[in-house]
Structure 1
Amino acid sequence: MKIKKIIIGVLIFGIVGVFVAYKMYNKPHIIVSETTADISISANKIVADFSADETAANSKYLEKIIEVKGVISETKIEKGKGIITLKTNDDFGSVLCHLSAESTKQMEALKEGQIITLKGICTGYLMDVILVKAEISSQ
């Protein structure tokens, strides 16, 4: 009788797991350029928020579309994708924006020291705030 309950439990757990995996795999992709930003903020403010309380900042910014304004400290291309780094008042933190393929094409017109607004999905904080699928909003 115990073995029967264990087998039924494992089957139910497996079915639920397959259902969740299917839903996650088929989750619609967000087109950042066509979506309104959830939050507009400066590069200094978002890095300061993560530095002060990472847990609170995660609940506020994580997986949301963030429009961030700041000064370009570096631009580079890695594996065919553009990355723009926005400098902040924090010596150890910045905002790293991993650009979409379309925005990567626009990087040639950008230069260090230029003020720019980028919109992307916040994926967290590892000494730097990371935005992915970033689009150039204004130059």
Structure 2
Amino acid sequence: MTNELATVIEGRLSEKGWSVARFTVESGVSADVVAGLLGPEQLPCMPDESTLVRLAKSLDLPYRQLVVAAGVACGLPKNQEGEPTFVLRFVTNQELLNELRRRLVRGRNNADAQQRRLTHLALMQQALVSEAS
């Protein structure tokens, strides 16, 4: 079973008659990144914006469609219309901040040195904003 983003990408590649190798050339996205998007049953994290933009352009698909598919591939549940559901109306600001911290720390542990520094900076900025309010 493949993830939602992989299903969308593979379906479009089939329509275009492209191989994955041609797709990597056309999109400008490295083979390692494409393999990471197509391989797992669930994505460990959301692909970055520039990757999704390049994929959307090369596949002639709406950017929003790929964002929604990537969200579902990351584990967000879908509603009856096939859209990921975001239950934010009942979430407090503190719960959102806690989730942000959790995700930043998880990403920091799996990142290279530069990404860890950027994550640390983001955590520090968020903490300062929380203290100021």
Point out the structure with the larger helix share: 2
Q: Computing the radius of gyration over CA atoms, which structure comes out larger, 1 or 2?
A: 1
Please state which band the TM-score falls in when normalised by the shorter chain: under 0.3
TM-score, normalization: structure 1?
0.22
Higher strand fraction: Structure 1 or Structure 2? 1
